[in-house]
Every structure is written in structure tokens, then in C-alpha cells.
Amino acid sequence: MTIQETLQPGVVVDTNPATGKAVAELNETDLTRLPAIIAGAREAQAIWAAKSFKERARHIQMMRSYIVDRADDLARIVSESNGKTLTDALATEVLPCALACNWYARNAEKHLKASRRAPGSLLFFNKRTEMLRLPLGVVGIISPWNYPLSIPFGEIVMGLMAGNAIILKVAAATPAVGRAIEQIVTAGELPEGLFTHVVGSGSKVATGFFENGINKLFFTGSVPAGKTLMAQAAQTLTPVSLELGGNDPMIVLEDADLERATNGAAWGGYQNAGQSCGGVERIYVVDAVYDAFVELMARKTRQLRHGVGCKGFDVDIGSLTTAGQLRTVQQHVEDALAKGARIEAQSRPVGDVDNGYFFPATLLTQVTDDMLAVCDETFGPVIAVQRVANEEEAIRKANDSHLALTSSVWTRDNKRGRAIAARLESGVTTVNDHLYTHGLSETPWGGGKQSGIGRTHGPEGLEEMTQAKVVNWDILPSKRNIFWYPFDQATYNGLKNAMQFVFPSGIAQWLSASLKLTPFLVKKMFTRWKTD
């Protein structure tokens, strides 16, 4: 049974990837209605943008209360739709949503309110500038199946607090979570039409977004899909924010706390069945502690249990979410073994795993740089460990990737860790931790290279949901700026004196320029342009 299947035209079934059983049915959105949906969103957005930050925050806090009150139900829906465990769903999906509501409701005004910009030169003494962060209008969000609740919901809250309308398209594999998001947003009692969840083909929805003038698109997904969307967006110059995955390195130095490092590696690499764009995929361990690290990591990997995550709490790792992703993980491991890698340890199954997309947590050693599990994103519960001679080799190998989302350094010396972090090519580097910063609403999320463009979360994410606007005015009335018409020798000399006044070669030049500049300014700014 496939994850998404159509029983009849226009009906989509959400199937639990761990059990193969249907968990929900949703009606597809009639995409011929998309122009009307976007038009309605624009009307609602005008009403919403007129509200104060405090008024918007009240609606967002109502959503937070709904999330907290129904945390168990939301965790179950995510677990059944995505395949992850109930604990994973609560910790990495439900809790971050509540945190996002709280942080953006409290902090959006501080980061988006109007601010004054000081003049950059005495030449513009008469000018004052105010910077505004205005809503974009209607924002489209196309979200992935690996974190079907927390990824889109964080962007929804950012967009709403910035004053936008939102149209959401969730992944085809997890439509039931989209319906849960609808219910959360409904609890916020927003103006009608301000938020819409559409169900249907991602490519068709994206095309409809661009054709109908969406103001910006936020997309999280694969590199190929992101490139396709960016090419489409170029036709209408629609701005995009793209988060396209990672192949995250972890560096373990000789002074690392191996107990913490192996604990962090296990969670960062196997959590969510490894389907985390910011999860641990490559580990570079300095030679002095390599054997000890691998032995401890192998013991912990063998203790982990994989199985159906929605039925209880006796499993650590759930299933993968799609059949296609399972095939990718299998291919990467097969490629590694064919090239000489060794499976050092695997997790053990618990219960019935025959009907789901399960792959055991797998620790690979004796890996080389040409293996897919090292040079590409596996996006599964597979960790590849390499021995390196020293810190410098670890940094070089960590940076040798076309993806640059996050990374981590493990050492007892925080100063050393921060120094190495500054040299690693990634959007986020953590010292003695990994992956969790996506749940910190105050920190920006995103990376470089082919990991995408733009940022979500934090003040930077809020700014991505707005457009900057400059408002500039004179504090004293004047007839003309000094560089306006009419031009003559006096205008040229006056401008030259102005330049020498602000950038003098010495005190004598400054005094001379000052004496000549003052009468020129008075004449140019406060006398009429004689036209007869």
C-alpha cells in the first residue's frame, strides 16, 4: 500500500508508513479556485496588517493554548502520519510549535517595529530616515514530510506576526497533519481567508502560486525540487526562501566527553529515523579516541529499538515516511558495503515491522569519501564514522560537501570549539550538541552552498517575512538640495568644498572648505531658482 492513494477522484488517503493502515481521508482542493483563494487572502491580509502587534499576538497565544491542551492528540496524529515515535513527535514537533507561538508573539514587535536610521554624513544634516518592515502580502508555504507540523507551523506564525496572509501546502505523504494545522489556526480566530490549507499536487500548487502573484514562497525539500521552483520563480521575479537539506558533519576531538558525544551522535543521527536535514550523517573522530568512540557508539546503537512508534513507548526509532526514502537509504548502505564499509552495529526490531518502511539504525565504519553515505544526503538512520589524524583533517573533510546546513564540534574546551565552529562552512554549528537549534525560535535556521537560500526563525526569519521600506524627510524646510539644478561653476565648487569639509586632508583644508561651504549652502537651499 502506498503512503498516498486516491480512492476516488479528489480524495486523498493518509496512510501510516509504520503499519500500512489508513489514518485519514482528505478532499483535494479544486485548484481552479486558487485565484479566488489568493484574492480572498489579500482582502483578509489588509484587515490583519492594520492590527497592532499586540492584537496579532493575542490570536497566536490562543493557538498556543490549543497546542498545549491537545499535545497528546497532535503527537499521535504526527506519529501516525509520519511514522516517528510519540516521543519524537512531542519533543520535536508539538513542543517547538508552542515555543514558536510564545517567542514570536512576544518578540515580533521588537524586531519589526519602525526604527530611526542615523544620518551617514554631516552633508545630510537636514535629512531624517525611518526604516519600516512591511508585510509581504500573501505568503505561500510548501512544507516537507519529515517534520510535517513544526516546520510549516513555525513559518506560519512568523508570517502571521509579520502581518501576512498564509496559504499552506503540506507534503503529499502527511496530509492529515495539514488538517491538524488547520484546527490549530482555527483556534486562533483569524479573519476569514487569512489562512488556507490546500491539498493537492505540489508542482501544480507551486505553479498556481506563481501564476496568481504570490508575494513570496517558502519551500523546504530536496535540492532538485528547490532548483525547479527557483527557476519558476525567476519568470515572475517572485522571491523564495529555500531550505534544501544537509549532509551534516560531526567532529569529535581527542578531549571530547565520549559519553556525551556518543549520546548526542545517537540522537542526532537516528532520531526521526534519520530523516532530519540537520541530523548527524558524517562523524570525523580524531585517531586518539576513534576506537573508544566506535566501541561505545556501537554498544548504544545495539541497544536501540525500532518499531511502530504510535502504539506506545517501548521503541526508540519509528519508520521512514516514504517507500522512496527507504529505497534511497538501502541504496546508500549497499553502495557503502560494496566499496568496503563495515556495519559495526544496528538497532533491533520490536514488534511487527513487516508492514512498514523500517530500516535499522546503522553504524558504518571503514567508510571512504566516495561512498554515497558520505558524499550525499542519506536522510535515514545511518551514521558513517571516519578516523582522522587531527583537527585540521577533520575540518577539511567536514567542509568538503556541496551541502552546508549544520555541523557540530565535540570538545571539553569551549573556546577551542567556538574557534573551530567559525571555520566550518555551515549555517549553524553547535558545540557539544547537534540538531536541536531548529527548535530554538530565537535562532535563524538555514545554510549555504546547495542547502538553500534565505533564513527562517529568529529575527532574520521575521525579516524574511517582510519587505524593507525607507521613509526619508527634511527636518528644516528648504528650496533645493545642494546638488539640484541649476548647475554652474558655483555648484561644482560648492560640492567640492562639501567633500573636502567631510574628508579634509588637514585642519587648514577643513577651515577653508567650511568658510566657502556655508554661504553656498544658504544660497542653494534657501533662495529661489530664478527662472526669469
Active-site residues, by number, are: 243
Task: Show the 3-state SS of 68-127.
Answer: HHCHHHHHHHHHHHHCCCHHHHHHHHHHHHHHHHHHHHHHHHHHHCCEEECCCCHHHCCE
**Long-range Cβ pairs for the range 385-388 (8 Å, 24+):** 385/283, 385/285, 385/290, 385/293, 385/294, 385/297, 385/344, 386/282, 386/283, 386/284, 386/285, 387/285, 387/287, 387/290, 388/284, 388/285, 388/286, 388/287
Helix (H, G, I), strand (E, B) or coil at 408: strand
Task: Show the 3-state SS of 176-240.
Answer: HHHHHHHHHHHHCCCCCCCEEEECCCHHHHHHHHHHCCCCEEEEECCHHHHHHHHHHHHHHCCCE
Nearest residue to 139 (alpha-carbon basis) of 245, 28, 205, 213: 213
CB-count burial class (<10 Å; 0-12, 13-18, 19+) for 78: buried
> How crowded is the C-beta side of 20, counted as CA atoms within 13 Å?
9
Torsion sign across C-alpha atoms 267, 330, 428, 140: negative
The two beta strands, 280-286 and 248-252, are parallel
- Contact assessment for residue 473 and residue 272, using Cβ atoms and an 8 Å cutoff: no
Torsion sign across C-alpha atoms 234, 235, 241, 245: negative
> How crowded is the C-beta side of 245, counted as CA atoms within 13 Å?
22
Residue 200 in grid coordinates: 493537492
Residue 446 in grid coordinates: 538555514
Query: 133 to each of 110, 111, 219, 513, how far by Cα in Å?
Result: 11, 9, 22, 39
The Cα–Cα gap between 143 and 243 comes to 10
The Cα–Cα gap between 516 and 527 comes to 17
> What contacts 411, CB < 8 A, 6 or more positions away?
253, 255, 256, 417, 420, 431, 432
